[in-house]
């Protein structure tokens, strides 16, 4: 009897243990399945916070099962769920470890092949593309279920898509499309083919692929995604009526009701692009009324603000809508744009008000300018396309005789970065703007610094207003009017040349009218040849700047002196030429080099060491930061020690030090020659490259654009 009782207790214990780990695994599956349902409600690429919470609970329960029941028959299932849960919570390294554990410890599990697939997906996210491809190729070369092979081929295309290698991705996806007979996978494959073509800007092929994805779709979600992306593609092709038809069909289907706001927004944008502004406004307003507190409502308010700013020129109304856009849905990506544009409008209105005050002060004959609070502006620039009658600005500059008694004050911050004229084709900055910050946006501080006279403040306001018109409001014509007014009203070289150059820059960059631009640039160079903006005009015309011209003159003189020394062995004339460079161009980079050359000739050719030391001393004193001064310092140190009695001629240390110094000098000289040769080769390469590039430069191809002396 006792024996039977013990057997009963044993069986009951086993049954309890089985129930315990079964219940634990049941909870693991429950939380995981709940997470999957939540994830599938949204875009596959977006895991909601609720889904992530359920994945986290599944991770906790599965980890508990592995800890307390390591011999359970559910261990491989728990590992697989852990791997997928870690994947969807973006803990990819942990996911990879769990898939590896399953494959290594349970080689006979039915989940091994699935784990290899997920290992590949995880390696893609870890950007270990080589290992991921090996995973997929290994599966494709194996004899396994056809569905697994089809999925592996699809994921192989996804690998290259993730690498943004859309050409190769296309070829892999096309193989997948031919392989599979599963309608759902075929729909997903054609959708990805459409995405590849879309990213390659082959919109026609993309539209066909999205239509195929819709045709093979097996659920409402995939059908909607394919149709919506097809509409976006037609919109990119400027086939607005076709796009509107697609979105309207989606709006007529109750199955897509939760997607109606984004479809309405697309219809409104298409109408705006078509130029049907009143109709677009009606759609935007209906979105804000029917779908408040949504991203679509915030974007609609933004579009309304842009319309009233750009098309209606009603800046107060635009400001109102932009403020609503920022408040409607704080998580919308449109909020920073709305805030920036709203700030620009505030600055525009403030500048206009200040200009009005200055004009009133001038009319009253006041000598003190009206003050205005400082306002910071973030300037974001785009290419502009407005047209303007050229004749009104053909003569952008007044006669230079007006300025003969004026001193020009250079503003180093107002210069464009130096470089070849065509190197800054994508640089939207107009000379005169402060430097860009690290993100490329520009800061403009309104009314900073000490106030000047009403006339000075008026010109300052107009300069800033013109830049805001160009860079913030896409109104270069309005900017040109302000610049022309500045030229008519101002008498300072700095402001006139800045305005004139800006006019030329607008014609060149934003209107693609290089004929008018060059006429203005040449006029500027002729009338104000020494101004900063004349140098900027020279850069635009591929003409060497004044500083470059001066450098070239000194370079020629130095090379002439070198020829006397190296070619003709005329040491006296070489020394004379080098000395003249030091006298005439003491700030030139060639001055220190010339002194070094003189010292070298005295020491190594004429054996006049006293004179060499004297020249080296001058070099070390006047150009102590130069590389040449650093080269002669060891020799000068030995001479000083000899003079002080610290060393003697018979001192072997002195001789060794002297020999060492001589050897170092020789090595440095040889190094300098090598560096000079390398630098010369690079210069020749740049000149050759420039010559080749100029073959395709429309300025130099047009005979009217050829500048004397510049090819």
Residue 190, exposed/middle/buried by CB under 10 A (0-12, 13-18, 19+)? buried
CA distance 411 to 409: 7
Q: Judge whether residue 696 has pLDDT over 90.
A: no
Q: Between 505 and 430, whose confidence is greater? A: 505
In this prediction, residue 684 carries a pLDDT of 60
CA dihedral 288, 293, 297, 302 (to 10 degrees): 110
Predicted local confidence at residue 453, as pLDDT? 85
Q: Are 132 and 159 in contact (CB under 8 A)?
A: yes
d(CA 327, CA 665): 70
Residue 271 — very low, low, confident or very high, per pLDDT cuts 50/70/90? very high
Task: To the nearest 10°, report the CA torsion of 520, 523, 524, 525.
Answer: 120
Q: CB of 457 within 8 A of CB of 451?
A: yes
User: What's the pLDDT score for residue 695?
Assistant: 45
| Predicted confidence (pLDDT) at residue 473 exceeds the cutoff of 90 | no
pLDDT of residue 173: 95
**What local confidence, expressed as pLDDT, does residue 663 receive?**
55
Which residues are 445's β-sheet partners?
Answer: 376
Q: pLDDT at residue 566 above 90?
A: no
Confidence of residue 560 (pLDDT cuts 50, 70, 90): confident
Residue 562 has a pLDDT of: 86
Highest mean pLDDT: which range of 252-256, 277-281, 422-426: 277-281
**Which range (6-20, 167-181, 330-344, 373-387) has the least confidence?**
373-387
Alpha-carbon distance values, 517 to 19, 503, 508, 509, 524 (Å): 86, 8, 5, 9, 11
pLDDT of amino acid 665: 56
- CA–CA distance, 306 with 238 (Å, rounded to integer): 20
**Least confident piece of the model among 25-34, 88-97, 98-107, 602-611:** 25-34
Q: What is the structure's pLDDT at 441?
A: 40
pLDDT tens, residue by residue, 52-68: 888 998 888 888 887 87
Residue 662's φ and ψ, nearest 5 degrees, are: -60, -40
Chain segment 507-552, per-residue pLDDT in tens: 998 888 999 999 999 999 888 887 888 888 888 888 876 666 666 7
pLDDT, tens digit, 9 for 90 and up, residues 654-693:
444 555 555 555 555 555 655 566 566 556 655 555 554 4
> Of residues 10 and 605, which shows the higher confidence score?
605
**Three-state DSSP class for residue 202:** coil
Contact by Cβ (8 Å): 496, 398 = yes
Taking alpha carbons only, the member of 381, 687, 694 closest to residue 541 is 694
User: Rounded CA gap, 705 and 711, in Å?
Assistant: 10
pLDDT for residue 5: 44
Q: Which of 60-74, 187-201, 468-482, 603-617 has the lowest mean pLDDT?
A: 60-74
45 pLDDT exceeds 70?
A: no
Q: Which of 238, 237, 244 is nearest to 265 (CA)?
A: 244
Predicted local confidence at residue 413, as pLDDT: 31
For the chain, give the mean pLDDT. 78
What CA–CA distance (Å, rounded) separates 76 from 73?
Answer: 7
pLDDT, average across residues 401-425: 30
pLDDT at 415 (0 to 100): 27
Per-residue pLDDT tens for 433-460? 433 333 334 444 555 556 778 888 889 8
The pLDDT value recorded for residue 290 is 95
Cα–Cα distance measured from residue 513 to residue 493, given in angstroms and rounded to the nearest whole number: 25
**Region 296-303 average pLDDT:** 96
DSSP state of 321: H
Q: Report all structural domains of the chain as residue ranges with CATH numbers, in order of start.
A: 375-412+424-541 (1.25.40), 548-694 (1.25.40.10)
Q: Which of 5-9, 199-203, 684-688 has the highest mean pLDDT?
A: 199-203
- Residue 16 pLDDT: 44
**How would residue 621 be classed by pLDDT, with cut points 50, 70 and 90?**
confident
pLDDT value, residue 544 = 74
pLDDT at position 561 over 60: yes
Output the pLDDT for position 548: 63
Of residues 23 and 428, the one with the higher pLDDT is: 23
Q: What is the pLDDT of residue 606?
A: 87
pLDDT above 70: percentage of residues in the chain: 74
DSSP per residue over 233-288, as a string?
A: HHHHTT-HHHHHHHHHHHHT-GGGGGGHHHHHHHHHHHHHHHT-HHHHHHHHHHHH
* DSSP codes of every residue in 49-66: HHHHHHHHHHHHHHHHHH
Whether the pTM exceeds 0.85: the reply is: no
CA proximity to 369, closest of 455, 498, 299, 304: 455
The single-letter DSSP state of residue 20 is: H
pLDDT at 369: 73
| Residue range 65-122, pLDDT digits in tens | 878 777 778 788 889 999 999 999 999 999 999 999 999 999 889 888 889 889 998 9
């Amino acid at each position: 009897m006792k024996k039977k009782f013990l057997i009963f207790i044993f069986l009951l214990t086993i049954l309890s243990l089985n129930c315990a780990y079964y219940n634990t695994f049941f909870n693991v599956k429950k939380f995981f399945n709940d997470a999957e349902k939540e994830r599938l409600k949204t875009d596959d690429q977006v895991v909601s916070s609720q889904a992530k919470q359920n994945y986290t609970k599944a991770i906790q329960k599965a980890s508990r099962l592995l800890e307390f029941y390591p011999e359970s028959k559910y261990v491989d299932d728990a590992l697989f769920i852990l791997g997928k849960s870690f994947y969807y919570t973006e803990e990819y390294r942990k996911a990879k470890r769990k898939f590896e554990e399953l494959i290594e410890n349970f080689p006979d599990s039915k989940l091994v092949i699935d784990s290899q697939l997920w290992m590949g997906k995880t390696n893609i996210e870890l950007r270990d593309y080589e290992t991921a491809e090996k995973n997929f190729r290994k599966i494709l070369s194996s004899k396994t279920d056809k569905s697994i092979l089809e999925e592996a081929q699809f994921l192989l295309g996804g690998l290259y898509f993730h690498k943004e290698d859309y050409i190769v991705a296309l070829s892999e996806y096309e193989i997948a499309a031919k392989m599979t007979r599963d309608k759902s996978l075929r729909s997903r494959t054609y959708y990805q083919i459409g995405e590849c073509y879309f990213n390659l800007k082959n919109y026609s092929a993309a539209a066909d692929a999205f239509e195929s994805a819709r045709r093979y779709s097996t659920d409402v979600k995939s059908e909607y995604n394919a149709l919506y992306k097809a509409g976006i593609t037609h919109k990119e092709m400027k086939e607005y009526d076709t796009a509107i038809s697609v979105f309207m069909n989606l709006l007529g289907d109750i199955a897509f009701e939760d997607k109606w706001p984004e479809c309405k927004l697309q219809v409104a944008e298409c109408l705006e692009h078509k130029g049907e502004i009143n109709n677009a406004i009606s759609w935007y307003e209906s979105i804000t009324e029917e779908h408040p507190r949504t991203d679509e409502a915030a974007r609609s308010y933004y579009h309304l603000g842009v319309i009233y700013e750009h098309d209606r020129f009603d800046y107060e109304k635009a400001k109102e809508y932009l403020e609503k856009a920022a408040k409607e849905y704080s998580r919308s990506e449109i909020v920073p744009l709305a805030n920036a544009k709203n700030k620009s409008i505030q600055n525009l209105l403030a500048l206009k008000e200040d200009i009005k005050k200055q004009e009133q002060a001038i009319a009253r004959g006041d000598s003190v300018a009206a003050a205005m609070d400082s306002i910071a502006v973030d300037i974001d620039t785009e290419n502009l396309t407005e047209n303007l009658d050229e004749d009104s600005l053909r003569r952008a500059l007044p006669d230079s005789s007006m300025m003969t008694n004026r001193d020009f004050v250079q503003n180093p911050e107002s210069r464009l970065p130096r470089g070849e004229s065509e190197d800054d084709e994508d640089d939207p900055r107009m000379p005169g703007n402060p430097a860009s910050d690290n993100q490329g946006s520009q800061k403009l501080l309104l009314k900073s610094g000490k106030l000047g006279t009403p006339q000075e403040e008026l010109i300052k306001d107009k300069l800033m207003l013109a830049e805001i018109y160009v860079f913030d409001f896409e109104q270069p014509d309005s900017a040109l009017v302000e610049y022309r007014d500045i030229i008519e009203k101002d008498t300072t070289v700095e402001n006139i040349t800045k305005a004139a150059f800006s006019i030329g820059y607008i014609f060149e960059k934003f209107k693609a009218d290089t004929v008018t631009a060059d006429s203005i640039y040449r006029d500027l160079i002729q009338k104000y040849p020494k101004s900063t903006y004349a140098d900027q005009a020279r850069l635009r015309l591929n003409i060497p700047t004044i500083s470059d011209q001066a450098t070239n003159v000194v370079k020629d003189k130095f090379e002439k002196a070198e020829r006397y020394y190296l070619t003709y062995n005329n040491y006296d004339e070489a020394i004379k030429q080098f000395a003249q460079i030091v006298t005439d161009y003491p700030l030139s980079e060639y001055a220190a080099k010339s002194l070094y050359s003189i010292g070298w000739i005295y020491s190594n050719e004429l054996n006049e060491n006293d004179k060499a030391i004297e020249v080296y001393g001058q070099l070390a004193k006047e150009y102590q930061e130069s590389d040449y001064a650093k080269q002669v310092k060891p020799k000068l140190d030995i001479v000083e020690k000899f003079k002080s009695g610290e060393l003697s001629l018979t001192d072997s240390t002195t001789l060794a030090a002297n020999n060492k110094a001589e050897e170092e000098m020789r090595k440095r000289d040889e190094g300098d020659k090598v560096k000079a040769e390398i630098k010369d080769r690079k210069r020749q390469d740049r000149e050759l490259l420039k010559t080749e590039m100029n073959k395709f430069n429309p300025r130099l191809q047009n005979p009217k654009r050829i500048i004397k002396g510049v090819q």
